[in-house]
C-alpha cells in the first residue's frame, strides 16, 4: 500500500531541495506510461530503449499529472525544476537507475519476504515449485514471472519476465495486501542490468544455470554472465543458493561467502545440499540427498535430470528459509508440473505429447535428453526459432535436434518481421542430413503430422512456446497455443 509523501520527501535522497523551493505536492501514484496518467498521479519520464517518455510530458500534464519526475542527461540540469502549465517538472540524472528505490520508498514492503531466481533456464519451474511447496506448508506464496504474476491459482498475464521497477513494487505491495508472506520472483538479465529490482531486499537469491540466450541484447556470453552475477554482487541478497553443476555457478559459488551450493553429484565438504542418489521412472523422480541440512529422500511427479536440479534448488532454498524439512518431504509428492514446462498430454493408443518452453540450445538438449530416459519408441521433436533474435543459435538447435531425436520437424516460432523460410534455412544449415528433417511452418499442422505418423510408444516434444498463447507474425500477435493444439489433436478436454 502506498504511503503518500510530498515530492520533496520522496526525492530527498537524490535532491537537496531548498526550503523556498520545497514541493508540497503529494505523490500517491507513479506512472511510467502517460496513457495511464489520471488526475493526481505523478508521471515519471525516462528514456527507454524504444520510447523516450520525455516526449509525452505535455500529454501527461493534459491528462492530470500533478507533477513530472524527468530524466536528464545533463549533469548541470540535475535538481532543476521547470514549471509547465503550473505543473513542476523535476529533473534527475540517471533517473532510470533510481526508479526501484523511489518506488520502494512510496510503497514499502513490511511482511512480504522475497526470493529471486535467475538463470537461463528453470526460473519458472523453480519459482513455482517454491510457491507450491510453501503453500503446502501453510505459508501463502505468490510468484512474479514469465507465466504471470500473482497466486498460482489465479495468475495475471505479465508482459515481461521481470516488469519495470514501478510495476514490480506496485504488484508486490498489492500481493502483500492480499496476504502474501513470500513472493518468488523470476529475475531476468534485462531486469538486473536495467536496475528494475535494485532496491529489493531478497531473503534468498537462486542461480540455476547459464547458457546461450539474449546475445542480441548483451552482445557476448561474458556480459550475459556478468548480468546474472550482479544479482549476488550488486543487489541485496541475504543468502545465495547456487547450482554448482553449472560452470558459471561453480565459479560464482567460490565468490559468495553466504553461498549454499547445490549439486546432483557428491560434494566432499558436506556443505550445501547434494543428491546421493537419483532414480528416474515414468511416475517421476526419486531423490536421496545429504548435506548441511541432514539427509532424506523424497519423490516428485516430474521428469528429467534438469528438473531434478530445479527441485533440489527449490528444496535448498526453502530449507535455508527455515521451513521444516519433514514438512517439505511429506508434501513433495503433491507437487505438480508447471504449465508449459515438460507438461504431459496423453491419450490412449497415441504418442505422448510433451509441451515445453525450451527455446535455447541448452534447454532443448536437456529436454530431449530427459525424454530419452522415458521413451520406449521413437523420440520426435518439433521446434522453430524466433525472428529478429540471435541467429547464431538456429543451426545449433537444429544440430541438437538431429543428434538426439529420431524424427525432426522444423516449424515456426515467432518469426516476427523475418521470413519464416529464411529462418528455417538458417536452422537446416546446422544439420548433417537436412533432407531428413520435415518442414511444416504451421505449428498445429506440424503436431498433426507427427501424431499421424507416430506410434503409441513414441514421445513428441513440442518445444519453444510452452505456456504462451500467441504467435508473432510480421507485426501481428495472433492467438495460438501449443497446449490447446495438443488437447485438440489428442481429443482431450481440459
pLDDT band at 18 (very low <50, low <70, confident <90, very high): low
- Residues forming the annotated binding site for meso-2,6-diaminopimelate? 389, 413-416, 464, 468
Tell me which of 14-18, 21-25, 268-272, 332-336 is least confident: 268-272
pLDDT digits 0-9 by tens, 193-242: 888 999 999 999 999 988 755 455 546 777 777 777 888 888 899 999 99
In this prediction, residue 225 carries a pLDDT of 79
pLDDT at 329 over 80: yes
CA distance 135 to 336: 12
Q: For residue 365, give every residue at least 6 positions away whose Cβ sits within 8 Å of its Cβ, in sequence order, or none.
A: 400, 404
pLDDT at 411 over 90: yes
| 95-106 helix and 165-177 helix, angle to the nearest 10 degrees | 10
In this prediction, residue 217 carries a pLDDT of 57
Comparing 87 with 255, which gets the higher pLDDT?
87
What distance lies between CA 469 and its chain's CA centroid?
16
Instruction: Check residue 49 and report its DSSP letter.
Output: S
pLDDT band at 98 (very low <50, low <70, confident <90, very high): very high
CA distance 432 to 428: 9
pLDDT at 466 over 90: yes
pLDDT at 21 over 70: no
CA distance 491 to 494: 10
pLDDT band at 303 (very low <50, low <70, confident <90, very high): confident
pLDDT band at 121 (very low <50, low <70, confident <90, very high): confident
CATH topology of domain 109-334: 3.40.1190
Domain range summary for the chain, segments of one domain joined by +: 5-95, 109-334, 343-489
Q: 403 is written with which cell numbers?
A: 543428434
> How large is the average pLDDT for residues 244-267?
89
CA distance 277 to 465: 32
Tell me which of 232-241, 408-417, 440-449 is least confident: 232-241
pLDDT digits 0-9 by tens, 171-180: 999 999 999 9
Its pTM stands at: 0.80
pLDDT band at 269 (very low <50, low <70, confident <90, very high): low
CATH fourth-level superfamily of 343-489: Mur ligase, C-terminal domain (3.90.190.20)
CA distance 143 to 136: 15
- Where would I find the H helices in 120-188? 123-136, 165-177
Residues in the chain: 494
In the chain, % of residues over pLDDT 90: 71
CA distance 103 to 131: 25
Asked if 185 and 197 count as a contact pair (C-beta separation under 8 A), the reply is: yes
Radius of gyration (C-alpha) of the chain in whole angstroms = 24
pLDDT band at 103 (very low <50, low <70, confident <90, very high): very high
What is the architecture, at CATH level 2, of domain 5-95?
3-Layer(aba) Sandwich (3.40)
In this prediction, residue 258 carries a pLDDT of 78
Tell me which of 5-9, 31-35, 107-111, 188-192 is least confident: 188-192
CA distance 290 to 346: 35
Count the neighbouring beta carbons within 10 Å of the beta carbon of residue 43: 27
Q: For residue 152, give every residue at least 6 positions away whose Cβ sits within 8 Å of its Cβ, in sequence order, or none.
A: 128, 131, 132, 135, 143
Please report where in the chains the cell 530431449 appears, as a residue.
Answer: 368
Mean pLDDT of the chain: 91
Asked if 469 and 479 count as a contact pair (C-beta separation under 8 A), the reply is: yes
pLDDT band at 268 (very low <50, low <70, confident <90, very high): low
- Residues forming the annotated binding site? 32, 34, 119-125, 160-162, 188, 194, 196, 389, 413-416, 464, 468
pLDDT band at 50 (very low <50, low <70, confident <90, very high): confident
What torsion do the CA atoms of 294, 300, 305, 308 make, to the nearest 10 degrees?
A: -30
Amino acid at each position: 500500500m502506498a504511503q503518500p509523501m510530498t515530492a520533496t520527501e520522496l526525492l530527498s535522497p537524490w535532491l537537496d531541495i531548498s526550503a523556498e523551493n520545497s514541493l508540497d505536492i503529494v505523490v500517491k501514484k507513479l506512472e511510467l506510461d502517460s496513457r495511464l496518467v489520471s488526475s493526481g498521479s505523478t508521471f515519471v519520464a525516462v528514456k527507454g530503449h524504444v520510447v523516450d517518455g520525455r516526449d509525452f510530458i505535455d500529454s501527461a500534464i493534459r491528462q492530470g499529472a500533478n507533477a513530472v519526475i524527468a530524466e536528464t542527461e545533463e549533469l548541470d540540469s540535475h535538481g532543476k525544476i521547470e514549471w509547465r502549465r503550473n505543473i513542476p517538472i523535476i529533473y534527475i540524472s540517471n533517473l532510470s537507475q533510481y526508479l526501484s528505490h523511489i518506488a520502494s520508498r512510496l510503497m514499502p514492503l513490511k511482511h512480504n519476504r522475497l526470493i529471486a531466481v535467475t538463470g537461463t533456464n528453470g526460473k519458472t519451474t523453480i519459482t513455482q515449485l517454491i510457491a507450491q511447496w510453501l503453500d503446502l506448508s501453510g505459508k501463502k506464496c505468490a510468484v512474479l514471472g514469465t507465466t504471470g504474476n500473482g497466486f498460482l491459482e489465479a495468475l495475471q498475464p505479465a508482459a515481461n519476465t521481470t516488469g519495470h521497477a514501478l510495476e514490480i513494487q506496485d504488484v508486490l505491495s498489492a500481493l502483500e495486501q492480499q496476504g502474501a508472506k513470500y513472493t518468488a520472483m523470476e529475475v531476468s538479465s534485462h531486469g538486473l542490468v536495467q536496475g528494475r529490482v535494485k532496491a529489493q531486499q531478497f531473503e534468498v537469491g537462486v542461480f540455476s544455470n547459464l547458457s546461450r540466450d539474449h546475445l542480441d541484447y548483451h552482445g557476448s556470453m561474458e556480459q550475459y554472465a556478468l548480468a546474472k552475477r550482479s544479482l549476488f554482487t550488486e543487489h541485496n541478497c541475504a543468502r545465495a543458493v547456487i547450482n554448482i553443476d553449472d560452470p558459471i555457478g561453480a565459479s560464482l559459488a567460490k565468490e559468495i561467502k553466504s553461498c549454499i551450493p547445490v549439486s546432483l553429484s557428491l560434494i566432499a565438504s558436506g556443505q550445501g545440499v547434494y543428491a546421493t542418489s537419483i532414480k528416474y521412472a515414468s511416475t517421476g523422480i526419486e531423490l536421496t540427498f545429504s548435506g548441511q541440512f541432514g539427509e532424506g529422500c523424497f519423490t516428485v511427479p516430474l521428469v528429467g535430470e534438469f528438473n531434478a536440479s530445479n527441485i533440489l534448488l527449490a528444496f535448498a532454498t526453502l530449507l535455508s528459509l527455515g521451513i521444516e524439512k519433514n514438512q517439505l518431504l511429506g508434501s513433495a509428492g503433491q507437487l505438480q508440473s508447471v504449465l508449459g514446462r515438460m507438461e504431459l498430454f496423453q491419450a490412449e493408443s497415441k504418442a505422448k505429447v510433451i509441451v515445453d518452453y525450451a527455446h535455447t540450445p541448452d534447454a532443448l538438449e536437456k529436454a530431449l535428453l530427459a525424454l530419452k530416459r522415458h521413451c520406449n519408441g521413437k523420440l520426435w521433436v518439433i521446434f522453430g526459432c524466433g525472428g529478429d533474435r540471435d541467429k547464431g543459435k538456429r543451426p545449433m538447435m537444429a544440430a541438437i535436434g538431429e543428434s538426439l531425436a529420431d524424427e525432426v520437424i522444423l516449424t515456426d516460432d515467432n518469426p516476427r518481421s523475418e521470413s519464416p523460410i529464411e529462418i528455417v534455412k538458417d536452422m537446416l544449415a546446422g544439420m548433417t542430413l537436412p533432407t531428413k528433417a520435415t518442414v511444416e511452418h504451421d505449428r498445429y499442422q506440424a503436431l498433426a503430422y507427427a501424431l499421424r505418423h507416430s506410434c503409441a510408444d513414441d514421445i513428441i516434444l513440442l518445444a519453444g512456446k510452452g505456456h504462451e498463447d500467441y504467435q508473432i507474425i510480421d507485426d501481428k500477435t495472433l492467438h495460438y497455443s501449443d497446449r490447446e493444439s495438443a488437447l485438440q489433436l489428442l481429443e482431450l478436454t481440459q
